[in-house]
Amino acid sequence: MRSELSAEIEFDVEFYDVDSMRIVWHGNYIKYFEKARCALLEKISYGYCEMEESGWIFPVTKISVKFINSLYFRDRVRAKAVLTEYENCIKIRYELYNAKTGQICTKGDSTQMAVNLATGESSLICPPVFTGKIDALLREK
């Protein structure tokens, strides 16, 4: 199912995220995706604490990254997360921009699968506690 739910956040590139050339170390782009994903989940009112309280967890099962342009120490980053699937799994598309120039720096996607916290069993569909929140938000639009 397609949705139009998205969230954006801005933050600065910190010194501890860069290598000796003051370029963001490649592994930190995944951390930046996570920041945007958390903002999106909070918008849905289903962050990691709410997931656990509802009896479900959603481990990442797949992630892809396309590096386009580098981010540097003290750059301002605009991170966008867009929910692209939520019935069978959670799929999110990410875009990282240099907020000052508007230049896209990195794109990516992630997939998360629902796992019943009590049994440890994977589910081939997302639980209604999650899909219901999204459907309600989409009806408000």
Mean predicted confidence (pLDDT) in 27-43? 98
Neighbours of 29 (CB within 10 A): 23
d(CA 89, CA 48): 15
CATH number at residue 126: 3.10.129.10
- 1 located within any domain: no
What is the reported pTM? 0.94
C-alpha count within 13 angstroms, C-beta hemisphere, residue 106? 26
- 140 located within any domain: no
Tokens of 53: 């309280």
- 35 located within any domain: yes
- Nearest residue to 13 via CA among 73, 68, 101: 73
* Domains held by the chain: number: 1
- 138 located within any domain: no
- 1 pLDDT higher than 80: no
Which residues form the domain of 68?
Answer: 6-131
Average pLDDT along the chain: 96
pLDDT band at 4 (very low <50, low <70, confident <90, very high): confident
Q: What is the pLDDT of residues 19-34, one digit of tens each?
A: 999 999 999 999 999 9
- 136 located within any domain: no
